[in-house]
Amino acid sequence: MEKQISKYWYLVLIKGIIMVLLAVLLFNSPADTLLAYVLWIGIGFVISGIAIIVQGISAKGVLDNWGWIVFGGVMDIFLGYILMAHPALTVSVLPIMIGFWAAFYGIFLIIDSFSGTGGGLLKIIFGILILILANTIIFNPVAFGMTLAIWIGIILLFAGIYNIINSFSLK
């Protein structure tokens, strides 16, 4: 059972690397980033979603919560599609979209910390950090106008670091 889960450890690593790279893109030019990189962020979310869906489906007979893993991947693909399909419109609602995605991701990490798959404390810590940032963005998007790209970059960086650390624990 454990071998089946760890068989696809590299998919979690790929997701983490993509998130860290997206964070670096956001940190490099935050003023121009939102519109210029919405397409790249969308592509990153689609690739990440596909990797997570493959991981979830491969854990079908092993984990009870495999459906939630697949659901998380579908949400990533959905968000990526929205970002790519309407980049100009997306920039105006991006704080709320990213905020809700981050809130879902943070809640998922906290819930998953009790599943017994390992890394419980790490999942709780990163889940809480991501949830705090998500709530700040959702409930006060105007305050983050110019710094929004940096905050989104921080969320992606936290999520990416968590996935990279977690992938090596699965290996």
* Digit-coded pLDDT (tens) for 39-81: 777 888 898 899 889 888 888 878 777 888 899 899 989 988 9
- CA–CA distance, 77 with 146 (Å, rounded to integer): 26
Q: Can you give the residue range of the structural domain that contains 66? A: 2-170
Task: Give Cβ neighbours of residue 118 (< 8 Å, ≥ 6 apart).
Answer: 169, 170
Lowest-confidence range among 84-98, 109-123, 148-162? 84-98
Band of pLDDT at residue 3, cut at 50, 70 and 90: low
- Shortest CA distance to 143 belongs to which of 41, 87, 135, 35? 135
Band of pLDDT at residue 1, cut at 50, 70 and 90: very low
Cα 143 to Cα 25, 34, 70, 87, 94, distances in angstroms: 22, 16, 34, 22, 14
Q: What is the pLDDT of residue 78?
A: 92
Residue 3, Cβ neighbours under 10 Å: how many? 7
Lowest-confidence range among 109-113, 115-119, 162-166? 115-119
- Shortest CA distance to 93 belongs to which of 105, 108, 106, 79? 79
Q: How many structural domains are present in the chain?
A: 1
User: What average pLDDT does this structure show over 102-118?
Assistant: 84
Q: What is the pTM of this model?
A: 0.57
Do 47 and 74 form a contact (C-beta atoms < 8 A)?
A: no
